[in-house]
A = this chain, B = another copy of it.
Amino acid sequence: MAAHPVSPLAPKSYPDLPAIAGVRFVTAAAGIKYQNRTDVLLMAFDAGTTVAGVLTRSKCSSAAVDWCKAKLAGGLARGLVVNSGNANAFTGARGAASVQLTADFAAKALGCSTDEIFLASTGVIGEPLDANKFAGVLDSMATQLGTTPWMDPAKAIMTTDTFPKLNGAILEIDGVEVKINGIAKGSGMIAPDMATMLSFVVTDMPIAAPVLQALLARHVATSFNAITVDSDTSTSDTLLAFATGKAAVEPIESLNDPRAEVFGEALRDVLFDLAIQVVRDGEGATKQVCIHVEGAVTDASAFRIAKSIADSPLVKTAIAGEDANWGRVVMAVGKAGEPADRDRLAIRFGDLLVARDGERAPIYDEAATSAYMRGEEIEITASLGLGTGKASVYTCDLTHGYITINGDYRS
C-alpha cells in the first residue's frame, strides 16, 4: 500500500493514556501484509475481566466477527488478538479454521480457555489468513506484556489510517478514580451499522457483562453508529469493551445502579471522541462535517435523513469545494424517503440561515456563507418543522484523496 499524506485534521497531540490495572499488552510485526511496522496486538486480561461487544450486521461478516459473537455470550475475557493487513473475511472454512487456530495459540500463550479469547482482523477482504504466522509470535509476545504505552496498540491496528486514535477518561466513582482507555482504527469503508471498523475499550471499573453490554449498545448509537465516511459498511466492524474490575469499588451489577449512568456518560465521551477521530481521518478528508436534523417526525426518521445528507456524494464534494451548495442538501432531504415538507424546510450552515419555508432565505448572505465554508469544521442543520425528532451524523468531505487512496489500495 502506498503511504498517503497525514490527514490535515489529525490531532496536534496525543493523550498519554495511563496504565490500567488488570490489562497488559504488546505489539509485534508479523509481516502479514505490511513491512516495517507492527501489525499484531496481543492484550491479556486478568481473571474476572468482563466483556461486551457490538459487531457488524453485515450479512458477509468476517470469521473473527462470527467468533466474537459466539464468545460474547460467556461474558468473560482473558485475551484479545488483533491483526491488521488482512480481514480474514470471506475466507470460508479456511477462515473459521484460521480463527480457531489463532485462538488456540493465544489461549496456550496466555494459559486460558479459548472461550475467553477475542479476535479481530482488519485489512483486505477475501485473502486467506495463514494463522501459522502467529504460532511462535504469540508465545514470544506473551512474555513481553506491559501496561504502557497505549500508543503502541493504537498504531498496530491501523490500515489506511493516517494517524493513531486513542482517547481516555478518568472519573471518580465512590471517591475512587476509575479509568477508561480506548483505541480505534478506521478511515474508509466506514458506515458502521453497529460499531466502527475496530475499537477496543478497557476500564478497571468492576461492572457486570450484561450492564456493560447495555451501556455499550446505548452509546454506540450516538457515537460510532452516527458516523459515515463513504456509506460503505465493513464486514469486520468490531467494538469490544473490557472491564478488569480492579478499581476498588463495589461492582455495578444492574442498570438501575445510579453509577451506571455516570460510568455510561464517561464511556460515551470516549466512544464519541474516537468516532470523531475516525471521520477526521476519513480517507482523503479535509473537513469535518456535522449534519444535524431537527423537527423530524421521530428521532429515527431524523437519523435517516441526516445519514442521507451525510452520505450524499454531491453534498460532500460541494463541501470539499467550499461551495455553500445548499440545494444539494435539499436534494438529499428529498431522496431520504422520510416524511418531509419542502415548504417547511429550513437549512442553516453554521449559524447562517440559507433557506427557509421552501426557498432561499431573504437574509441569505452569499459572501458570509462562502467564508463559513472555508472553515475546517462545517455544521449543517436541516429543520423539517414537522415534529420533535432530531439526530446528528458526523462525516467528512469527499475529495480527490479518497479516489487516489481507493483506486489503488489492494494492488
Binding site for B on A (CB under 8 A): 56-61, 87, 89-95, 124-128, 188-189, 191, 193, 230-235, 311-314, 317-318, 320-321, 323, 325-328, 330-343, 345, 355, 357-360, 398-400, 402-404, 406-411
Question: CA A314 – CA B125 in complex, angstroms?
Answer: 12
Are B318 and A410 closer than 8 Å at their CB atoms?
Answer: yes
Q: Most B CB atoms within 10 A — which of A61, A125, A400?
A: A125
The smallest C-beta distance from A132 to any residue of chain B, in angstroms, reads 18
Are B128 and A360 closer than 8 Å at their CB atoms?
Answer: yes
Q: A230-B314, A342-B90 are in contact. Are A126 and B193 (CB under 8 A)?
A: no
Are A406 and B317 closer than 8 Å at their CB atoms?
Answer: yes
Q: A325-B410, A406-B317 are in contact. Are A331 and B95 (CB under 8 A)?
A: no
Residues in B with CB closer than 8 Å to A404 are 400
Residues in B with CB closer than 8 Å to A333 are 59-60
The smallest C-beta distance from A131 to any residue of chain B, in angstroms, reads 15
Question: CA A125 – CA B332 in complex, angstroms?
Answer: 12
Could you list 28 A-B pairs, sorted by A, with CB under 8 Å? A59-B335, A59-B341, A60-B331, A60-B340, A60-B345, A61-B334, A90-B327, A92-B343, A125-B328, A126-B326, A126-B330, A126-B355, A127-B360, A188-B314, A230-B314, A232-B328, A232-B335, A233-B331, A235-B330, A235-B331, A317-B403, A318-B410, A321-B408, A321-B411, A323-B407, A325-B410, A398-B403, A399-B403
